[in-house]
Amino acid sequence: MSNPTLENKAIIITTKNHKVQAFVFLVVFLFVMAGSALGSIFLAKKYYGIDSTTFNPKKMDASIKPVGDTLTGITIPESNDSDGMIACALNLYTIANYNLQHDDKVAYAVNTKSEVLNVSTGGIRYTVKNGDEFFNADYFYVPQGGIINTIAKKASPEFTNYGYRAYYNLATQSGREQKAKELNYKVLSNGVIGFRVLWDNLYFDREITEIPQEFAASGKSYRYYNYTWSIDSLLSASVKYNAKGGYYELKVEIDCSNEEAIKDGLAVLRQGASDPNAVYTKIVETVQIWDNGRFKIFNTYDDWYSPHIHNTAFSATSANDYRTTFYYDDYSLNISNYQYAKEYIDSLAA
């Protein structure tokens, strides 16, 4: 398999933007409600039962290195060679994107954490590709209990509290996806967050009509996450090689004034903030890539600013951290291990 070049890759968006939307909606409502007289309201703590599941994310082993030939021809330039560093980072990033789409087996988990006005939101998304099978699960939640948390969940529940699952089979070129209106969670005794989703109360239940872009058979070029890396969009880059760990570590800063590079995320940000002047003020991505050209860790940190959020006199800033861990171990690649996966796949086959 030949390595792709940057020139022959038509880069397109693949990462869902609803995490950005969720946090923007939350910020809007907390700012609005912060100025309101909430009164003395007491909400009793509610405990939620968690569906039984054998899935345990602690069994996922990110230390397992995927199969693949060690890359050749990678030369890390001197630290003062800024153009050389950018070119080296772009080369490794392009190779990793190509492999992510063309490899038969890969799993990854995206953890999101944001906080505003002392309210934290959390989210976890699992994606698994194993041969012809593809599964995606997405859980996003606002902590239970408390008046502000309750307001946040009521503000825009479709973006701030939901469960999602999707399954696609490339062999039959068929699949289905569901998004549920109610999700509860609880931290279990082993420290794992357990979810309970009511799959009979849905925003939608529909067929997947296009091959997921994670498959090379989709016919679409691929990149991971929202922002475009290019010679023009990167302000700086650094590349190091960890010989003991067997991976490269890249750190890049994206030019927030380059609207072509950030247009996908920026459009969602401005729509959610109802502010055409909302801007990103900093975007830094730190990426670890195994020395056989497969993603290991992908971490995105971004700051944004809205001078008149939701058409109010208030301005708002936010910092967001999104961390993706890639897995190649047997446990993580077994779709049946994931909560709500096997029952869903069995129901589609019935």
- Tell me, yes or no, whether 334 lies in a domain: yes
Please compute Rg for the chain using Cα positions. Answer: 21
- Tell me, yes or no, whether 229 lies in a domain: yes
- Residue 132, domain extent: 15-51+70-349
- Tell me, yes or no, whether 57 lies in a domain: no
Specify which of 110-124, 251-265, 309-323 reaches the highest per-range mean pLDDT.
Answer: 251-265
Q: Hunting for tokens 């997947």 — which residue is that?
A: 208
Contact 72, 92 (CB under 8 A): no
pLDDT tens, position by position, 155-211 = 566 767 789 999 999 999 999 999 998 888 777 777 777 788 989 999 999 999 999
Write the DSSP symbol of residue 4.
P
pLDDT of residue 22: 54
The confidence band for 279, taking pLDDT boundaries of 50, 70 and 90, is very high
Asked whether the predicted pLDDT for residue 19 surpasses 60, the reply is no
Task: Report the C-alpha gap between 284 and 70 in whole angstroms.
Answer: 27
pLDDT tens, position by position, 212-258 = 999 999 998 888 988 999 999 999 999 999 999 999 999 999 999 99
Half-sphere exposure of 151 (CA within 13 A, CB side): 17
- Tell me, yes or no, whether 65 lies in a domain: no
Tokens, residue 155: 């503000």
- Tell me, yes or no, whether 227 lies in a domain: yes
Q: What is the mean pLDDT of residues 137-154?
A: 66
pLDDT of residue 318: 80
- Tell me, yes or no, whether 286 lies in a domain: yes
The confidence band for 147, taking pLDDT boundaries of 50, 70 and 90, is low
* Averaged pLDDT score across all residues of the chain: 82
Number of H helices and number of E strands within the chain? 7, 13
- Tell me, yes or no, whether 323 lies in a domain: yes
Element (H, E) at 119: strand 119-130
Task: Report the C-alpha gap between 129 and 138 in whole angstroms.
Answer: 15
Task: Report the C-alpha gap between 17 and 272 in whole angstroms.
Answer: 11
Task: State residue 344 phi and psi, 5-degree precision.
Answer: -70, -45
- Tell me, yes or no, whether 6 lies in a domain: no
Asked whether the predicted pLDDT for residue 42 surpasses 50, the reply is no
When divided into structural domains, the chain yields a total of 1
**DSSP letters along 43-74, please?**
--------------GGG--TTPPPP-PPP-S-
Report the 10 Å Cβ neighbour count for 131: 12
